Amino acid sequence: MTDTTFDTLHNPTFLQACMRQATPHTPVWLMRQAGRYLPEYVATRAKAGSFMGLATNRDYATEVTLQPLDRYPLDAAILFSDILTVPDAMGLGLSFAQGEGPRFAFPVRDEAAVAKLEVPDMAKLQYVFDAVSSIRSALTQDGKGRVPLIGFSGSPWTLACYMVEGKGSDDYRLVKTMLYSRPDLMHKMLAINADSVAAYLNAQIDAGAQAVMIFDSWGGVLADGAFQSFSLAYTARVLAQLKRHGADGKVVPRLVFTKGGGLWLQDMKALDCDVLGLDWTVNLGTARALVGGAEYAPGTSGPGKALQGNIDPNVLFAPPAAIELEVAKVLDSFGTPFQGAGTGPTHIFNLGHGISQYTPPEHVAALVAAVHSHSKRLRA
């Protein structure tokens, strides 16, 4: 039987909440918590010389992963890496131009390019797995981990968007042109992406990741129907291949975040994952009623999902008193989390998307403190 006691951690609240177990407070971590809003990150990146110099160096990746934990009492660490490492390992030539974001030298836009795609040799991504092992070691204090380490990947659809567009996009014209005019090519690419992501996340689990998250950052740009066929189905294909526990026998929770995916919560509740992440457009109480309860709606069975999210990242530009007010609104909208033995509805506090590079670091401190204090009051 899979072990869900998490007794190898000083602070297991994140993993407990993932598995819908009671916690003394609502755990909190932030998407992109290791990043450009921290001056110490900027200094380390300058030493590394480039973003990829940072991401591909085990010691630098470890250093920046730990930086936010040294500043704030966060309840989880997330591997410092990028969602585009997998297509880079496929040979698409990833680079980061200063101020421009990621781009690929060899985008995938025709039948010949799709035909060349294959699941990459995971040895090309060894720098990621080395970083996972290094971070796990650095998190260990007195024989136990400070907090759990989350590994991650982009979703098959989100990776395909970047692979076809060659960079970020405002209109998704190229990838949607392929989707509608050559759905056969799109499905072939997505199947390869899904199998690649599964192999990548399993290797992260082997290296020591204690939870894994799939970021479907661009799922919300799809039409209804297309989302189910071209995004959700391939996220499900990844989940079906993932290892359920690490080398230590502990269960490894699986999280799925679809930005703009609130419309499809009813569809996503069938995913074989433990946690659904939500952006700020979704009311947590409504989501809890739909997918977070003890059981699904009549006619279906199985445990509900833990929910993660979902404060608007721009709240962090408001004064600390306003941040505390908005934190309380989010926690109150979920309601009192499950308490007692067994399992029930639980919440992991996070932003509705990644933290902005312009965020004042002291405002993050106000948010984390407010989450811990207000969530304790909710349980009192």
What is the model's pLDDT at position 183?
98
- CA 159, CA 187: separation in Å to the nearest integer? 13
Q: Are the C-beta atoms of residues 154 and 84 closer than 8 Å to each other?
A: yes
User: 36, 71, 109, 182: which is the annotated catalytic residue?
Assistant: 36
Assign 302 a pLDDT band (cuts: 50, 70, 90).
low
Q: Fill in the amino acid letter for 150.
A: I
In a domain, 1, yes or no: no
Radius of gyration of the chain (CA): 20
Tracing tokens 């297991």 back to the chain, one arrives at 12
Residue 234 designated active-site: no
Residue 244 designated active-site: no
In a domain, 187, yes or no: yes
In a domain, 3, yes or no: no
Judge if the upstream peptide bond of residue 11 is cis by omega within 30 degrees of 0.
Answer: no
* Residue numbers belonging to the annotated binding site for substrate: 32-36, 82, 162, 217, 353
What is the model's pLDDT at position 1?
52
Residue 230 burial class via C-beta count within 10 angstroms: exposed 0-12, middle 13-18, buried 19 and up: buried
Question: Nearest 5°: phi and psi at 200?
Answer: -65, -45
In a domain, 130, yes or no: yes
Q: Of 8, 29, 16, which is closest to residue 306 (Cα–Cα)?
A: 16
Domain of residue 71, CATH code? 3.20.20.210
pLDDT tens, position by position, 331-373: 999 999 999 999 999 999 999 999 999 999 999 999 999 999 9
User: 37, 75, 82, 296: which is the annotated catalytic residue?
Assistant: 82
Is residue 300's pLDDT more than 60? no
Q: In the sheet that 275-277 helps form, which strands lie side by side, from edge to edge?
A: 77-78, 149-154, 211-216, 254-258, 275-277, 306-311, 347-351
In a domain, 156, yes or no: yes
Is residue 268's pLDDT more than 90? yes
Residue 82 designated active-site: yes
In a domain, 4, yes or no: no
The conformation of residue 304, written as its DSSP 8-state character, comes to -
User: 41, 72, 162, 200: which is the annotated catalytic residue?
Assistant: 162
Cβ-Cβ contacts under 8 Å for 276 (sequence gap 6 or more): 255, 256, 257, 265, 268, 269, 287, 291, 305, 306, 307, 308
Structural domains counted in the chain: 1
In a domain, 249, yes or no: yes
User: 20, 37, 45, 296: which is the annotated catalytic residue?
Assistant: 45
User: 32, 103, 254, 288: which is the annotated catalytic residue?
Assistant: 32
pLDDT tens, position by position, 63-121: 999 999 999 999 999 999 999 999 999 999 998 876 678 999 999 999 999 999 999 99
* Residue numbers belonging to the annotated binding site: 32-36, 82, 162, 217, 353
In a domain, 2, yes or no: no
Q: Which residues constitute the domain of residue 192?
A: 13-379
- CA 213, CA 254: separation in Å to the nearest integer? 6
- CA 137, CA 160: separation in Å to the nearest integer? 33
Q: Are the C-beta atoms of residues 213 and 150 closer than 8 Å to each other?
A: yes
